[in-house]
Chain A
Amino acid sequence: MQDQLFELFSLTLNIDPRHLSDETSPGNTEAWDSLANMLLIAGIEETFDVELTTSEIESMKSLADVRRVLIDRGVAAVA
């Protein structure tokens, strides 16, 4: 099964999933700007049916961070 997170990031950032990794972050990915971040947050919340807190949103500084927040929330699909 393709990673749902990679799928969402690939679509939102317009990047081939092969070029995504847990290290992908706003710092090393030009497309991950504040506008893309808004789209990513909305996409994560709707895909995994969670409502993130502002501190969770602010802690998401890489794809690995996003995965960690979701695992902490008990979202099994990303583990």
Chain B
Amino acid sequence: MSLLETRAEWLKLTRNVGAEGEGREHVLVAATFTAEPLAPYLGMQLVDGRALPPLISIAPYNQILQLCHDGGDSFASTDAVIVLWRLEDLAREDLRAFLRGGDASPILAKVEELANAIAVLRSRVSGALLVSTPPYPHSPDHHVRSPKGAQGLGGVHRKVVELWLKRMSEIDDVSVLDLDGLQRFIGIRNSEDHRKWYLYRQPFSELFWSEMAADAARLIRGRRAAPMKCLVVDCDNTLWGGIVGEDGIAGLALGDDHPGAAFVDFQHQLLTLKAQGVMLALCSKNNEADVWEVFDRHDAMVLQREDLVAHRINWTDKGANIASLAEELNIGLDSLVFVDDSPVEIAQVQAALPMVTCIQVPEDVSAFPGLIAAYRGFDREQVTDEDRARSGMMVQERARRDLMTGMSSEEFRRSLELVVDLFKVEPEHVARVAQLTNKTNQFNLTTIRRTPAEISALVTNPSTEVLAWRVSDRFGDYGLVGVAILERKGETLEIDTLLMSCRVLGRGVEAAVLAGIREIAGGLGATRLEGAFVPTAKNQPAARLFPDHGFVEMAPGRWAIDTDANLAWPEGTARPGL
């Protein structure tokens, strides 16, 4: 859709809706400049299945500080607030003084003042808060290409961005909308429109607004959507150039020269993604020995066997292989990305598994690393310790599976030497706990998604208990894998949320956790423990939790158990925590 068509669609959608917010997603935009042109692009990015289009409202021009400090009920119904600012609007006179030999400190002081206001704003807004970085400042007094630019204004801009990002990282749950980076990407010339600035105090081109809207919408939606978990890659003409079965190891393009360097760069990208928690797997039509020979003997291979959590190297169709990889890794097909050079293989996978995201290696491989870098599905706002350790855990999982072969499930459980460490959530766990509420689909009783700010509020609320647990066994540590949110309601303790990573199911962790919760409930003076199972398309694995542990169904989907019931911590499972 062209920019013109996008705006036209938005006008048609909102034609008879008016400015009433009832039943609509509400995004408030506050800027140091005229920001109305953002509305159509952002609105169209955010349109979803709802009956009514989102409401995009624009706060009064250049009144961010006033809004933050006494916005009153401007925020009452907002799902997201977006703050956009430019250095030349925030500190116009100070910038001019600086260009004439003055000091940079008044500029930095204004930035500090704005950062303080954002901290106040965060405490008033319950939804998403997106805050821009300042683009490179522009005024007729200087130019980005002036020889003094790099040390002079360029230096101030870098300092400002650094200070700003540090301050924003110290505020809980602020998403950074990087207008500085966006302007670099599309270019200063393409992002500015001086005519609109002088006519309307609106500094940007339609292209820049539209790209800004795409980034903002991704940040808003990304808060409640899980990032992709696994990248499945083909080998020939994907990990390396050429076909190992035909060209042999010596004939492959992989190394310092074109086209091999693009494949080396792709392999480095894979390792970076792995460090951020993305699992890597192979899916290749090949003789297995040929592939491993490249891994073991080619000097330029960056990726190593131990970087992979799983592989399917055979002559079976790739759709079937990818489905079995998803099953082995216990992840949904919609959290898989598949990279292959063959349009035929990609078409087959897309037809068989439409939920899998497919990326085709471009014909000109010099565009390949750039294409992967531009893909946003793996983005995580915060990388937790669990993300970083994920690949190692999958390798431990293989060892557990080998042990399980030929044992009864009870024997298996005992042989694991399971440790379930149940504890009350502290501020340092909030990021991980919120992440789990957003990405756990299968073993999740109520599937209530929560932001870090919402979790923090529950932690400090005296009538709620937020519990989490770490699980480990003799093969390794699973990390923080489960969350329960309990609410006191008189004599009853209500299980608002109980969820667990599927990786730890089937070994008695559920029984331990329920036993722990039952005792905590008793300790709080509750006589009953109650909870709901709210079925979704994906949470069937949690359906048997209540009936399998002695809960009685009082009404459809509502379960209860007395706190003095016989629900004991499983024998042989260590209990270092609560």
Contact = CB atoms under 8 A, between A and B. Distances in A.
Interface of A: 11-12, 14, 34-35, 38-39, 42-43, 46-47, 52-54, 57-58
B206 interface: yes
A12 B11 contact: yes
Contacts of A53: 195
27 contacts: A11-B8, A11-B11, A12-B11, A14-B11, A14-B15, A34-B200, A38-B36, A38-B37, A38-B196, A38-B200, A38-B202, A39-B11, A39-B40, A42-B3, A42-B4, A42-B206, A43-B4, A43-B7, A46-B4, A46-B206, A47-B4, A52-B195, A53-B195, A54-B195, A54-B198, A54-B199, A58-B199
A35 B200 CA distance: 9
Nearest to B39: A35
B408 interface: no
Contacts of B151: none
Contact-size category for B? 10 to 19
Interface of B: 2-4, 7-8, 11-12, 15, 36-37, 40, 195-196, 198-200, 202, 206
Given A11-B8, A38-B196, A57-B195, A46 B2 contact: yes
Chain A binding site: helix, strand, loop or mixed by DSSP?
A: helix
B44 to A, nearest CB: 14
> Nearest 10 A-B pairs (CB), nearest first?
A46-B4, A54-B195, A35-B36, A14-B15, A42-B206, A11-B11, A11-B8, A54-B199, A38-B200, A43-B4
Given A43-B8, A54-B198, 18 more contacts: A11-B8, A11-B11, A11-B12, A12-B11, A14-B11, A14-B15, A38-B37, A38-B196, A38-B202, A39-B7, A39-B11, A42-B4, A42-B7, A46-B3, A46-B206, A47-B4, A57-B195, A58-B199
A76 to B, nearest CB: 19
A52 B195 CA distance: 9
B41 to A, nearest CB: 11
Nearest to B7: A39
A53 to B, nearest CB: 7
A12 B206 CA distance: 16
A15 to B, nearest CB: 11
Residue of A12, A38, A52, A53 contacting most chain B CB atoms (<10 Å): A38
A11 B199 CA distance: 23
Nearest to A46: B4
Contacts of B36: 35, 38
A54 B194 CA distance: 10
A39 B15 CA distance: 14
Contacts of A14: 11, 15
Contacts of A38: 36-37, 196, 200, 202
Contacts of B2: 46
Contacts of A46: 2-4, 206
A57 B193 CA distance: 14
A54 B202 CA distance: 13
Given A11-B12, A38-B36, A46-B2, A57 B199 contact: yes
Residue of A12, A42, A47 contacting most chain B CB atoms (<10 Å): A42
Nearest to B12: A11
A52 B193 CA distance: 12
Contacts of B195: 52-54, 57
Residue of A11, A47, A53 contacting most chain B CB atoms (<10 Å): A11
A72 to B, nearest CB: 18
A54 B40 CA distance: 23
B142 to A, nearest CB: 22
Contacts of B37: 38, 42
Contacts of B198: 54
Contacts of A39: 7, 11, 40
A46 B37 CA distance: 15
Nearest to A53: B195
Nearest to A47: B4
A16 B36 CA distance: 24
B12 to A, nearest CB: 7
A65 B386 CA distance: 64
A79 B206 CA distance: 27
Nearest to B202: A38
B221 to A, nearest CB: 25
Residue of A39, A52, A54 contacting most chain B CB atoms (<10 Å): A39
A43 B202 CA distance: 16
Contacts of A54: 195, 198-199
Contacts of A35: 36
B9 to A, nearest CB: 10
Contacts of A34: 200
Contacts of A58: 199
A14 B15 CA distance: 7
A38 B34 CA distance: 11
Contacts of A47: 4
Nearest to A34: B200
B518 to A, nearest CB: 59
A14 B206 CA distance: 21
B192 to A, nearest CB: 13
Residue of B40, B198, B199 contacting most chain A CB atoms (<10 Å): B199
